[in-house]
Amino acid sequence: MAQDRTRKIVITGALGAVSVLLGLTHWGFIPWFSGVSVTIMAVPVIIGAILEGPIVGAGIGLIFGLFSLLEAAIAPSGPGDVVFTNPLISVLPRLFIGPVSWLVWTGLKKIPIVGLILAGVAGSLTNTVLVLGMFGLYGIYSWLVLGGIALTNGLPEAAVSAALTLIIVGITLRIQVGKRRGADL
């Protein structure tokens, strides 16, 4: 029992560090044609939740959210980053990425490929919808603009998150895809 708790703490810290590394190096932001970046910052949260459960996912999401808050306050990359100094925008939505991903995975783990893809999509869209929803509630952008952002950025982010989740978790859990299993993916 103590080993399981230690493992969860270590996984939370390690994947939280991956999130911070992705943010600090900007490897977590893929340039996109619309002038903004497609972020894969939610992927460590999704992976942690699938592998270790919703509490670990929420912990990694907390690290991701706190990093977003600190980054916006200390070293904003643009004028729009100031809104991320509000923890209801930068931290709160990120707490739900892991639990939602875990719920989807748990419900679909009997069909693992579909389950991993949909868990990746659900986690990424949870981030997109909740962050943009907070923007809308605060009146930062109109709902029409937010819908456009969700389509142009949210859907590509979800697709990339789904692919990365399938590959990384598929390898980790040694899930069979066709005639290949786990590390052979």
Q: DSSP letters of 114-158?
A: HHHHHHHHHHHHHHHHHHHHHHHHTTSS-HHHHHHHIIIIIHHHH
Q: How confident is the model at residue 49 (pLDDT cuts 50, 70, 90)?
A: very high
| Mean pLDDT, all residues of the chain | 90
Q: Report the phi/psi class of residue 18: left, alpha or beta, with left for phi > 0 and alpha for psi in -120 to 50.
A: alpha
SS3 112: helix
Tell me the mean pLDDT in the region 58-77.
Answer: 91
The candidate with the shortest Cα–Cα distance to 165, out of 113, 126, 127, 129, is 113
Residue 101's alpha-carbon distances to 9, 80, 147, in angstroms, are 19, 28, 22
Pairing of strands 176-177, 180-181: antiparallel
The answer to whether the pTM exceeds 0.75 is yes
Of all helices (H) and strands (E), which one includes residue 62?
helix 54-74
What pLDDT is stored for residue 118 in this prediction?
98
At 34, the pLDDT band (50, 70, 90 cuts) reads low
Domain with 33, as residue range(s), is 2-184
Residue 121 one-letter amino acid: V
**Which whole number is the average pLDDT over 119-146?**
93
Mean predicted confidence (pLDDT) in 78-89: 87
Distance CA 3, CA 72 (A): 36
Measure the N-to-C terminal CA separation of the chain; round to a whole number of Å.
Answer: 32
* CATH code of the domain containing 87: 1.10.1760.20
Q: What is the dihedral of CA 17, 21, 24, 28, to 10 degrees?
A: -120
Q: What is the pLDDT of residues 69-78, one digit of tens each?
A: 998 899 887 7
Query: How many domains are contained in the chain?
Result: 1
**Which uninterrupted H or E stretch holds 39?**
strand 37-39
